[in-house]
Each structure stands twice: as C-alpha cells, then as structure tokens.
Amino acid sequence: MKLGLVIDLDVCVGCHACTVSCKQWNTSGATGPLTDLKPYDEDPQGVWFNRIRHFEVGDSPNSKTVNMPMSCMHCEQADCVDVCPTGASYKRVEDGIVLIDQDKCMGCNYCSWACPYGARELDRDTGTMKKCTLCIDRIYDENLEEIDRQPSCVITCPSNARHFGDFDDPESNVSTLVRQRGGHQLMPELGYSPTNHYLPPRIMKPMPTAEAKPGSLISSVKKWVNQSVSR
Amino acid sequence: MSTVPKFEDPDKQSVKYSTCYMCACRCGIKVTVEDKKIRYIEGNRDHPVNKGVLCAKGNAGIMKQNSPAKLTTPLLRKKGSKRGDGEYEAISMGQALDILTARLRNIRETDPKKLAYFTGRDQMQALTGLWASQFGTINWASHGGFCSVNMAAAGLYTTGFSFWEFGDPDWDLTKYFMMWGVADDHASNPIKIGLEKLKSRGAKFVSINPTRTGYQAIADEWIGITPGTDMQFALSMVHVLLKHEQFDWEFLIRYTNSAYLTVNTPGQKGDGLFLRDDDGNPLVWDMEQEKAVNGKLPDINPALFYEGEANGKPVRSAMVIFADTYLDDKYSPENSAEITGIPADTIERLALEMAHVAFKETIEIEQEWTDYAGRKHDKFIGRPVSMHAMRGVSAHSNGFQACRAIHFVQILLGSVDCPGGHLAKPPFPKPIPPPLKPCKTTKPNTPLTSPPLGFPTCPEDLVIDDDGKPLRIDKAFSWDAPLSNHGLMHMVITNAYNGDPYPIDTLMMFMANMSWNSTMNTSQVRKMLSARDEETGEHKIPFIVVSDAYHSEITNFADLIIPDTTYLERYDTISMLDRPISEPHMAGDAIRQPILETNRDVMSWQEVQIEVGSRLGFPVFTNKDGSRKYKGYEDFVTNWQAAPGIGLLAGWRLDEDGNETHLRGKPNPKQWERYKENGAFMQVPFTPERRYYRHANKDYLEWAKGNGWIGSSDQIVMELYSETLQKFNLAGQGLYDGPMPTEQHHKDRLTKYFTPLPEFYTPLEQTRIDEEEYPFHAINQRPMFMYHSWDSQNAWLRQIISQNFMYINREQAESMGIEDKSWVWVESHNGKIRVQVKHMEGCVKNTVWTWNAIAKQSGAWGLKKGSNEAKDAFLMNHLISELLPKKGDALDNVTNSDPITGQAAWYDLRVKIYPVENGETGAYPQFPDMKKMPGMEESPDILRYNAHEHPVRIHRSMDDVLKRGSVHDKKK
C-alpha cells in the first residue's frame, strides 16, 4: 500500500479546519502532545503537523489568491529517513507512512533540513521531531466505523478538499481523482517523489449570456405590450 | 492490514452529542471524553447543518474549555474602586443572585424600562425576549442592530425570508451562484459544503467583494466592487434585465405585488399607496374584464404594466414605477461603472449570464403540487440562479435598500424558493412583514402586552410618545430608525450616558463585549461606562451587570459579574421559536447538553433567568397559588408552552394518545432524553410537494400554520413595491393621516431614503466628511478560523493569527510611499490609530481592510502582558463613530446607522493613511493591563495537552533499523 492524501486546490478555501483538527486529534495521538510554547504570551509557537500557506499569484487586478495546505508528503524517496542518525525516522514497508519513533529521536534536526516541504517540526519541550502520521492511530482502528478510519483532516474538511487513500490501487479514490483532474506532485523536480498529490483549480469556460429578444432593448415602459398571464 | 498498537481505549471513553457554540452556526458535534478530559470533538455526520464536517473553531473547542480566562466565581466590584480598574471581590452565587434580584425588584416595582437588557451573539432570544417582556421592559434587544439586521429586515419586508438562518442557496441544483460582499462570516460550514458541491458540478461562482480573500480565492470570477455601492450594481443589473426583457412575467404576476395599482397623485395624501377595494384588498387592472379587481384573487389577468384611471383615480401599476425608475439612465451600466468600480460591460454580462441560466437552463421537477388557490400543477419550475449576501452589504447606511435591490434581481429572475434558486428555511417564509408590533408602554410589575421588538408597517407602530420622542433607550422604532427590528445595541451606552431620552438604572449584558470589539467608538464608550455625574458623583449608568464565561474586556466595567458556563457544560435549546437548525427541506431544532461537569461557582445564563424571573414572580414562572412553577431551565423547556402544543423544543412531544410526535404536541417529560438519544437534534423532512414555492404552496402553508410557524395560510405575496416605506415617505412629506415627524431632518430622511423602490444613495458618512481628505473606504472582516466567535482567545487559533494588519493594494501603497510592513497612522473624522500595513494584490485601490477583533486589551482573555493581540494588533472600532460625523447641523447627534433600520453603519468608514514619523511602532491606542480576577488561574507558559493519561506510542523495531537500507535502494 502507498497511503497518502489528495488535496483539491479548486475548493480549498484556506479555512484551517484541517490544521486545527489535526492539532486536536494528534495532541492526544501516537506522537502527542503537540506542545504549545507561550500559548498565552507573545509569539505563541506550537507543534503543528499541517499548516496552510496563503499567497497571491499575479498582480492586481488579475491576481489569484491561493491557499496551500502542506503536511508530510510521505515521499517515496524520503531523504529525511536516510539522514536520520538514530533510525528514529522510518518509512513503513506496509503502507509507506513516514514516522518518527519518539523514543529513538534525539532532536538533531537533520531530517527537517533534508525535507524540502517544511513538514517536520521540532517539539522543543520533548526534544523530538514530530510530523504527520496520516493519523495512523485512526486509520487502522477497528473500533471506528470504516468511514471514520481516515485522517482527522480529511474527515473534518468542510469543502471536501482532502481525500485519503491508497495510491498503489489504480481504482482507489485518490488514484482516480489524480487521473481525472490532472493531479500533480509538489516540486517533483526535486526527486523526492512525494505521495501526496494536489488537484489544480478547474478552469471555468466563458459562459453564454441571454440574448436580447427581437424588438427589445426597450427603453421605455410605454413600449411594452402586456403579456396575458393568469394569476 | 497493518499491525499497530491499540491507541484508543473505548472502555475509558464516553461519547455525547451536542451543538457547537464556537460560533453561531449551530453545527452538530460528537464529543469523546476520557476521564473528564476531552479527547476529540468531531462533526456529527447525521446532522443536517454540518453533515459531519467541522471548521477550525469547532476543532479548537478543547482550548476554549481549558482557557485560563474562565471566570470561576461571581464577582462584585470592590467598594471605592473605579470601574475599569478591575478590583473585585469573590462572592457566592447565592449572594450574587440576591443582589441582582433586589436591584431588579426595585426597578420592576417602580419603572421597569430603567432596566436595559442587551445580549450579544446568544441563541436564546426566545427566552431572553420572553424574560424582558415578563419583566416589563421595552429596553431589550440582541446584537442584530450591530450585526446584520439590514439583511434580515430587507428580506422580511420583501420576500418573507432572507439569508443564512432564513434561507440558503439550493446548493444541490443551482447553476450560478453570486456571493455579495463580505459574507464569509455567517453559515460557516454550510457555505463551504455548498461551494464544493457547486464547483464539482461546474456551476459558476461569482464573488462581488472589494477584497479577494476567503471564499473569493476559489471564485470563478472576482468582481472588485467599491464598498457601499452594491445597491447601484444590483439596480444596474435590474436595468439590464428590464432593458433586455429578461424577467419572469409569470412569477411577477403570480407571486409578487408588481401588478398592484398604486394611486398616482403626487403631492397629495394617499399618493403611492395601493388602490384598494372596500375590504382593503389591493386592486390590479384585469385585462379581460378591463377593470380594477381584487389583486389577490386567482384566475384573473392582471396587467403588469398599467397606467391610467381606475375607480376614478389616476393609477399606475407598481411595475410601471419599477420600470420607469430602473430604466432611467442613471442605472445604466455606463453610469454605474464609475460609482461601483465595475466596468459597464461586466455589469451587463453578469446580468445576462444570470438571465441565460434562469431562462435557458431552467430546471423542471416533475411533482404534483397545489397552489394557494387549490389549483394543481404538475411540476416545479426552477430558475437555478442563487445568491448569498451578508455583512458587507448589511453594515452600510444604505444596506437595507441595497439588500432589497439584491432581492429584486432574484425576483426578476424568478429564482426565489424554486429549484436551484434561493430557498427558505422553516419557519420561514413568514408573512411580509411578520405580524408582530413592538410594544410601546410599560407599567410597574406588569409584563409587556406585545414583544419589545417587532415589524412596524406604518408610523402608528413607532415606539414614540405623543411629542414624537423615542420611548426606547436605544431610540429604536423612532423617527431616527423607524424599522429597527433588532434594536440599536450600539446606541445603548451612549444614550444611557447622555440620559437621552432618559437615564436608566441598570444595564444588564450577556455575551456582549461592549467595551471592546462589539461597539463603535470603543475608546469613548469605555469612558462613558465609567463616567460619573459631576454633581452627584454617581455613575451615569448606575449599575452594570455582566454575564460572561470568560475574562473579557467588558467584565472590567461590571459592578456585578455572574460567571456563565461554557458551551460544553450547559443545557441549551436551538429552538424553532428562535433560530433553529432547519435546512430548506427539513424543519429541525437541537439542544446542548452538559458534556463536562462544572468545577467552578458558575451558573448558565439560562438558569439565572429562570431563577431570577421566578424570584421576581414573573407570571410565566409562577403558579396561580403564587408558588414557583419551574425547578430550573430543563424543567422550563420541558413544560412551558408558548401556545398550545408549542414549546422551545418541537421534537418528541406527545399527541392526544400520548404517542411521541414532532413539531406540535403536549409536553413530554422524556423530551430531553429523546434528544440525547438521537444525536441532540430533531428533524422532520419535507414531503416532496411542499418543497418549493412555499409562499404560494397550499400544502406547505397549511402545514406551516398547523405547526405554528405562521398565523395564516394565505398566500405570502412578495413585496417588490413597499407600501410600508411609502407610508413613511408620505409622513416625511407631511401627507400622512397619522403620526408625522416635526423635525426637518427627519422629514428629509423619510422622503429621501424611504422610497418604496430602492434608489441608490451614497453611504451617509461619505456625505458628511471631506472625501478628498479621507480618500479610503475602510472595512473589517473576520478570518474563517475566528469568525462569529467571541470568547476565549483560543490558544490554538491565536497561533494562526495574533496580529492583524491593515491591508492595502500594493500599487496604491507604493504610489504613496508606504512600504510593506511599515507602521502608519490611519485617521478618520473620529480619531486615529497606529497600525502596521501589509501590501496585497487582491484589494481594490480605494479600500483598505483588516481582520476584526484580533486585538485584545492587555491581560484580558488570559493573555499575558506583551501578547501580540495587545501590543501590535488593533481595533478599527476606535475610528468608527456611533454618531454621524459632525457638521454642525441637526444630524450631529443622530446615530451612524441605516436611517431605515438602525443597522450600525460601520462599513461606511472613510480614512486617510500616512506614515508614522520618528520610527514609531506598536498599536495605538493602548489600554491599561487588566488584572486577573479573584479565582482565575495563572495562564500556563507551556501546554502539553493530552487526553490520555498513559499515551500509547508506536515504535520502530531495532531489527528494522538495522536491516533496512536507504529509501533510495528501492530505486529501479
């Protein structure tokens, strides 16, 4: 299996439901807590597995606002794993999820330097690196209904912009979406072969407009002939 | 299947359902609790509003519950201390209730209107309104006057429903969706769910907004409009639709008053009112009978356009006036382009795109239904164009008429309550307007004879005395704002401070942060809250009571603080009598229930009202023998009936045989239990024949009447032409048989703004300042992860934003030498603030904007001194006056509001911007650090929230560490 996410940039409104839902689930999750430093003070900083970058493309008035959720891409060529001196970082054979063993991590930061996506965050309280687990503590939990065995960010997304599935299965929802909507990886040229894919915005074609009726372009009420309409 | 440890232990966990209250959207939640700690709050998948999803706010509920800003005990301001100094002593809840009851008893026994009771974003206006009525004060309202009353009022005076809680786009069938103005901050999850639906179907999404933020990011087309000109844009589209004869004749004739004959006698009494028969029925010109007939009758042939004589009077149909008004060149796209900032060809194209969808992509649903006259039809015709509008249109002084103009576009296209159009949500549509009149009189120890708020239809309904002076403390329903259906919360403190129209005794506020972001003119209002009479030394507002769960800025001004519970600790109803969870094709309501036990000396405001009302002997809370009727809130909800069979909760009531039934029935002692067993909500889906054209759908209207939603099953005729407004206009002209204003500015306002058909006018602030000196429009919006939330500066959400900036178009800023991230002064006629700017592309050049309510007073909300919210974030409120800009005329002391509805015109703000000198930084103005209240905990320096006492880890085996090679080894 090759588990990962598809994120639909056509409908992502940048609302942060996914990032906070992730925080909520994972602070009590497999690598929790997601410590918050100075939570009520200047410049609060906590550990987040998923962040949204907001930026604009193009100049006014033809600019476009883009919301870009980013979390661990669970890369095929995950250099973050290779650089780990303790073996804490690993990519699971059975499903491709990249994880960090909290009891082996010494917080050296090599992995975060190796990650081009900024997906890894050091918990300065525990001294360990933390990142998206694809909610490994949900997706295999048989006490949950099958529909709930998905990452928290996917379940909560109000605009259905996030999809979870197996990219090894060509008929899975994620494979189908990537095929149908021209899904792409982020910065594939770097060679990490990220598992997560992004769907580009749909392009709206110009649409027809109503035509003026013959003899119309009426400029005065007097020219109208009443239509007979029974009330 | 992978082998992973068992992370969660369901045996240690319990699950309860409730309703979210992180904002006002009323989403269903499923809460998992482990050993008294919240493990997870998720959306309730079965819930009609959010269908399982949950926004950022809802997901941050844990941090609200764990906020160090929670008040833990009732508090009394220390004797001799100043309001605002934050010197309080802890008292018991028993003492607090005794103090409150004694104070209120004295007011009620003498002059009940000396209690002003105003509430914030609460969802229990059915209860608070009942309480105020029973107390006997007319001085009650919620925050609607400050929020979006223009939307509600315009809808209720035009189509019988409005947006958000009142109606939704038909997300499943609409093919064209237009979103007007800053509209992100209502209906949080439903709009997101809906946008995805329509985008996945290829429907077009057009956004009309000065800024390209929020939902605008995914709009197929963004139209950067100049603030306050939405009315001109809408009426220009009306112009285009008329000019090209792209309107639904049948819809207009059957469902609106557009064919009604109006008396055409300018300068005389009765001009512009409907020609009526002896029974008061409005008349239309019947083309077959060639005479004026009762326009409400079926099977007549009304002339949409008629001008001539009828019953001996010169008349014209409303549609003649409509066409004359809007075909005028002043509404041509060319003339509208400069006003709105939208190119003429774009205005024309958008109108004709919508016309194409409405008339060429019509939907037909095969379904037999019966109209109001009993005639059968075999299908519902759908014009699949829909809209949403909210704050951006509403918060201007021309917002009421602007919103009416938006409804006009919908009505011309025939897209109201039809498949694919804009759909009503039960209990709407209501008669136009709802038949409730605001109460005028008060008497000691006596409940009001009608509700404090209502819907005037003529000057006789105003709440004024014989001299025309306001009777309410907020001057609602006076000549200043005749149709102020939601009151004017933003005027209460100023008017009470001035003793105008009279001094009050006690100001009681619930969930209303009126010394900070929920007021205009924050700096001055704070002074008024603590001001004393120079001669007597007494406070101008003698006693202030605040109920709040958190240490908000307003608590610091209270004499008595009654700490509220959190939304996870109390019972509550989201009632059909208030703002229920209904969706277009289902009626529903919901509850909150305690998920966690309280560990503080707090009491929900629901309970406080029942308790104090019972102590004061309100008739509704008292048995005939004088004994107390209800044990508490739960008991009250179960047993109180507003009318036979109708209570706060409509689910699981009892029929005559004692069987459980929904919508109407006798009280059921097991009602709360049933809600708890059923996901905390009730829903009754509509049968297919009742789903559309509900204003004229006999099955629906009769069913709605039976449910108590409407008092009559008569057709609800949409008011394209507003005779109500014309009556006020005539009063302004001195041509009305009834109350008329005596002051010239009132007369001028009535004749100018109370036009029966909207006529564009410039927002008032602009007309009273030098536009060249203050060249920018300045508007507020809230980010999606905070909008419509009001308490607990949330430890997680503040990590997303803790400082707001003043956003300005990059090119514009560069032309003024204002650098990105630099500090500037922003100044209005009312004051100035120092803020940090950010450049952006997606903002029109004549407008600056910011995120509202990020700024906090230092020390409030559990924030430490030096937090970004206090140091660098700012409120625009300081710049916005609650009164019109001074010009030395009679309007100087008139509210800065929509002259029709009293809606606070806080989006009318105009500013100038200039760089700071001497490298100053930091937000200005600053306020003193707020002290912690007795009983509050220290705010932690670190949070390690984990619901599990013994978290389960996942480990990599040493075997794997040693044997696995590089991830690159797999490369082929």
What confidence tens digit (pLDDT) does each residue in B594-633 have? Answer: 999 999 999 999 999 999 999 999 999 999 999 999 999 9
Averaged pLDDT, A80-101: 96
Check pLDDT > 80 for residue A221: no
Test the B interface: residue of A18, A65, A162 with most B CBs within 10 Å: A65
Angstrom distance (rounded) from CA B832 to CA B826:
6
A36 to chain B: which residues are within 8 Å by CB?
A: 795-796, 799, 942-943, 945
Residue B968's pLDDT band (cuts 50, 70, 90):
confident
A28: closest chain B residue by CA: B946
Among A102, A137, A226, beta carbon nearest to B8: A137
Q: Is the CB of A224 less than 8 angstroms away from the CB of B254? A: no
The alpha carbon of residue A158 is apart from the nearest alpha carbon of chain B, in Å, by 5
Beta carbons of B196 and A212 less than 8 Å apart: no
Q: How many residues are present in chain B?
A: 972
Kindly tell me if the per-residue pLDDT of B30 is higher than 80.
yes
**Nearest C-alpha in B relative to A97:** B2
Q: Supply φ then ψ for residue B490, to 5 degrees.
A: -70, -10
**Type of residue numbered B708:** G
Alpha-carbon gap: A92 to the closest alpha carbon of chain B (Å): 9
From the list B246, B799, B968, the residue facing A210 with the nearest CB is: B246
Q: In chain A, what residues touch B867 (CB-CB under 8 Å)?
A: 40-42
Domain ranges of chain B: 75-147+435-484+486-563, 725-756, 764-915
> Is A40 within 8 Å of B243 when comparing Cβ atoms?
no
Q: Going by DSSP bridges, is the β-strand pair B176-180/B204-208 parallel, antiparallel, or unpaired?
A: parallel
Name the helix (H) or strand (E) containing B233: helix B230-243
Tell whether the model's pLDDT for residue B560 goes beyond 70. Answer: yes
DSSP B76-111: EEPTTPPTTS--EEE--HHHHHHHHHHHHHHHHHH-
Specify the CATH architecture of the domain B75-147+435-484+486-563. Answer: 3-Layer(aba) Sandwich (3.40)
pLDDT, residue B539, reads: 97
Instruction: Tell me the nearest-neighbour CA distance from B189 into chain A, angstroms.
Output: 6
How many interchain CB pairs under 8 A, A with B? 342
Q: Count CA atoms closer than 13 A to B246's CA, side-chain side.
A: 30
Q: Name the helix (H) or strand (E) containing B838.
A: strand B831-840
Q: What are the phi and psi torsion angles at B813 (to 5°)?
A: -65, -45
Burial of B960 (0-12, 13-18, 19+ CB in 10 A): middle
From the list B647, B771, B617, the residue with the least C-alpha distance to B105 is: B617
The Cα angle at residue B528 between residues B522 and B534, in degrees rounded to 5: 155
Of chain B, the percentage scoring pLDDT greater than 90 comes to 95
Mutation to test the B interface, candidates A8, A9, A13, A104, most B Cβ within 10 Å: A13
Q: What's the mean pLDDT when you consider all of chain B?
A: 96
ipTM: 0.97
CB contacts of B362 in chain A (<8 Å) are none
- Closest Cα in chain B to A75: B967
CB distance A208–B842 less than 8 Å?
Answer: no
Q: Which residues of B280-311 are buried (b: 16+ CB within 10 A; e: fewer)?
A: ebbbbbbbeeeebbebbeeebbbbbbbbeebe
Instruction: Provide, rounded to the nearest whole percent, the portion of chain A with pLDDT above 90.
Output: 87
Task: Indicate the helix (H) or strand (E) that contains B17.
Answer: strand B13-19
Q: How far is A189 from chain B (nearest CA, A)?
A: 16
CA distance A89 to chain B (A): 9
Per residue in A23-63, pLDDT (tens digit) is 999 999 999 999 999 999 999 999 999 999 999 999 988 89
Q: For residue A152, which residues of chain B lie inside 8 Å, CB to CB?
A: 40, 42
Per DSSP, B164 falls in state: T
Q: CA of B471, closest CA in chain A: separation in Å? A: 44
Contact check, Cβ <8 Å, B39/A224: no
Our measurement of the distance from residue B511's CA atom to the centroid of its chain's CA atoms, rounded to an integer in Å, reads: 15
| Residues in chain A closer than 8 A to B287 (CB atoms) | 226, 228
Please name the member of B41, B353, B942 whose beta carbon is closest to the beta carbon of A35: B942
Asked if A210's CB is within 8 angstroms of B359's CB, the reply is: yes
Q: Is the pLDDT of residue B591 over 80?
A: yes
> Which residues does chain A have within 8 Å of residue B4's beta carbon, measured at their own beta carbons?
136-137, 140
Residues of B in contact with A115 (CB under 8 A): none
Interface test with B, best of A2, A16, A73, A81 (most B CBs within 10 A): A16
The answer to whether the CB of B237 falls within 8 A of the CB of B347 is: yes
Shortest CA distance from B43: residue in chain A: A156
Contacts of B797 in chain A (CB under 8 A): 20
CB contact under 8 A, B56 and A20: yes
Render pLDDT for B496-519 as a digit per residue (tens, 0 to 9). 999 999 999 999 999 999 999 999
Helices then strands, counting H and E runs in chain B, come out as: 25, 35
Q: Is B195 within 8 Å of B421 (Cβ atoms)?
A: no
- Taking alpha carbons only, the member of B225, B142, B135, B151 closest to residue B186 is B151
Residue pair A130/A31 in contact (Cβ under 8 Å)? The answer is yes
CB contact under 8 A, B2 and A94: yes
| Residue A55 backbone phi and psi in degrees, to 5 | -150, 170
Query: Which uninterrupted H or E stretch holds A89?
Result: strand A89-91
Q: Could you tell me what percent of chain B has a pLDDT over 70? A: 99
Nearest to A13 among B43, B254, B784 (CB): B784
Q: pTM score, two decimals?
A: 0.97
Of B40, B22, B792, which is closest to residue A24 (Cα–Cα)?
B40
Taking only the tens place, the pLDDT of each residue in B356-373 is: 999 999 999 999 999 999
**DSSP per-residue string spanning A102-158:** TTT-----HHHHH-TT---EEETTTTEEE---TTHHHHT-TTS-GGG-S-HHHHH-T
CB contact under 8 A, A209 and B355: yes
Domain B764-915 part of CATH 1.10.10.10: no
pLDDT at A92 over 60: yes
Say whether pLDDT at B107 is over 60.
Answer: yes
SS3 B959: helix
Which of B344, B359, B248 lies closest to B304 in space, CA to CA? B248
Give A71: exposed, middle or buried? Use CB within 10 Å, 0-12, 13-18, 19+.
Answer: buried
Cβ atoms of B530 and B537 within 8 Å: the answer is no
Question: A-chain residues within 8 Å CB-CB of B240?
Answer: none
**Per-residue 3-state assignment (H helix, E strand, C coil) for B120-149:** CCCCCHHHHHHHHHHHCCCCEECHHHCCCH
CA distance B604 to B571: 8
**CB-based contacts of B246, cutoff 8 Å, min separation 6:** A210, A213, B240, B351, B352, B355, B358, B359, B412, B413
> Contact A20/A43 with Cβ under 8 angstroms?
no
Confidence check: pLDDT of B780 > 90: yes
Cross-chain CB nearest to B56 (options A16, A60, A152): A16
Q: Which residues of A touch B256 (CB under 8 A)?
A: none
- The residue among B452, B791, B531, B133 whose CA lies nearest residue B544 is B531
Q: Is the peptide bond before B501 cis (omega within 30 degrees of 0)?
A: yes
Which tens digit of pLDDT belongs to each residue from B655-668?
999 999 999 999 99
The pLDDT-based confidence of B2 (bands split at 50, 70, 90) is low
Burial zone of A220 (CB within 10 Å; 0-12 exposed, 13-18 middle, 19+ buried): exposed
Does residue B971 register a pLDDT over 70?
no
Cβ contacts of B547 within 8 Å, gap of 6 or more: B509, B510, B511, B561, B562, B563, B564, B605, B608
Tell me the pLDDT band of A216, cut-offs 50, 70 and 90.
low
| Two structure tokens written together for B929 | 């650090």
pLDDT at B135: 98
Report the pLDDT value the prediction gives residue B972, as an integer from 0 to 100.
39
Is cis: bond before B384, omega within 30 of 0?
no
Sign of the CA dihedral B887, B890, B895, B898?
negative
Chain A residues lying within 8 Å of B799, measured CB to CB: 36, 39, 44-46, 48
Alpha helical stretches, state H, B583-630:
605-615
What domains are there in chain A, each with its CATH number? 3-199 (3.30.70.20)
A35 CB neighbours in chain B (<8 A) are 942-944
Q: 3-class SS at B563?
A: strand
Q: Of A40, A44, A1, A3, which is closest to residue A150 (Cα–Cα)?
A: A3
Q: Which of B42, B218, B951 sits opposite A155 (nearest CB)?
A: B42
- What are the phi and psi torsion angles at A77 (to 5°)? -105, 70
Find chain A residues with C-beta within 8 A of B220's C-beta: 204
Nearest CB neighbour to B4, from listed A13, A75, A140 = A140
For residue B785, give the nearest of A16, A207, A216 by CB distance.
Answer: A16
Confidence label for A117 from pLDDT (cuts 50, 70 and 90): very high
**Closest-CA distance of chain A to residue B7, Å:** 6
Smallest Cβ distance to A158: which of B53, B204, B249? B53
Contacts of B960 in chain A (CB under 8 A): 87, 90
- CA A102 – CA A94 distance, rounded (Å): 20
Q: Do the Cβ atoms of B40 and A28 come within 8 Å?
A: yes
Chain B residues closer than 8 Å to A79 by CB: 967
The pLDDT, as a whole number, for residue A211 is: 81
Residues of B in contact with A59 (CB under 8 A): 810-811, 841
Peptide bond into B885 cis (omega under 30): no
